[in-house]
Chain A
Amino acid sequence: MRTLYLDNAATSWPKPGEVPRAVARAMIRGGGNPGRSGHAKSIEAGRQVLHTRELLAELFNVKDPSRIVFTKNATEALNVVLVGLLREGGRVVTTSMEHNSVARPLRALSPAGVTVEVVPAGADGRVDPRAVDRAIGSDTRLVAVTHGSNVTGAVNDIASIGTICRERGVRLLVDAAQTAGCIPIDLDRIPVDYMAFSGHKGLLGPQGTGGLFIRDERDLPPLLRGGTGSLSDREEQPEFLPDRFESGTLNVPGIVGLGEGVRFLLKRGVEAVMEHDRRLREILWQSVTADPRIRVVGDGPEAPEGARSTGVMSVVIQGVSPSTAGEALERRFGILTRIGLHCAPSAHRTMGTFPDGTVRLSWGVFTSEREIARAGRALLSIAAGG
Chain B
Amino acid sequence: MFRRKERGRDAEELDGVATFFGSHHALRAESVLKKAGYAVRLVPGPREISPHCGVALRFSYARSEEAACLLRESSVQFEAVHLYPER
Contact = CB atoms under 8 A, between A and B. Distances in A.
The answer to whether A binds B is yes
Nearest to A36: B54
B22 A38 contact: no
B51 A38 contact: no
Contacts of B25: 66, 240
Contacts of B74: 64
Interface of A is mostly: loop
Interface in B53-86: 53-56, 74-75, 77
A46 B75 contact: no
Interface of B is mostly: mixed
Contact of A243 (B22, B45, B56): B22
B44 A230 contact: no
A50 interface: yes
A46 B23 CA distance: 8
B54 A37 contact: yes
Contacts of B42: 38, 43
Contact of B24 (A39, A42, A66, A232): A66
B75 A243 contact: no
Contacts of B77: 240
Contact of A50 (B20, B27, B44, B52): B27
A58 B44 CA distance: 30
A256 to B, nearest CB: 14
Contacts of A66: 24-25, 28, 75
Contacts of A38: 42-45, 54-56
Interface residues of A, number: 28
A229 B28 contact: no
Contacts of A349: none
Given A35-B23, A66-B28, A243-B22, A233 B51 contact: yes
B21 to A, nearest CB: 5
A229 B53 contact: yes
A119 B45 CA distance: 53
Nearest to B44: A38
Contacts, number: 75
A378 B77 CA distance: 57
A231 B28 contact: no
Interface string B27-60: 1101100000000001111000001111110000
A65 interface: yes
A26 B72 CA distance: 31
A35 B54 CA distance: 7
B23 A63 contact: no
A243 B24 contact: yes
A178 interface: no
A47 interface: yes
A229 B23 contact: yes
A357 interface: no
Nearest to B22: A230
A35 B24 contact: yes
B27 A231 contact: no
Given A66-B28, A238-B21, A230 B75 contact: no
Interface string A32-56: 0011111100110011011001100
Contacts of A156: none
B32 to A, nearest CB: 11
A36 B55 CA distance: 9
Contact of B27 (A47, A233, A240): A47
Contacts of A34: 23
20 contacts: A35-B24, A36-B54, A38-B43, A38-B44, A39-B44, A42-B54, A43-B27, A43-B55, A47-B27, A50-B24, A50-B27, A53-B24, A64-B74, A66-B75, A229-B23, A230-B21, A231-B22, A240-B21, A242-B22, A243-B21
Interface of A: 34-39, 42-43, 46-47, 49-50, 53-54, 63-66, 228-233, 238, 240, 242-243
The 4 closest A-B pairs by CB, nearest first: A38-B44, A230-B22, A35-B23, A64-B75
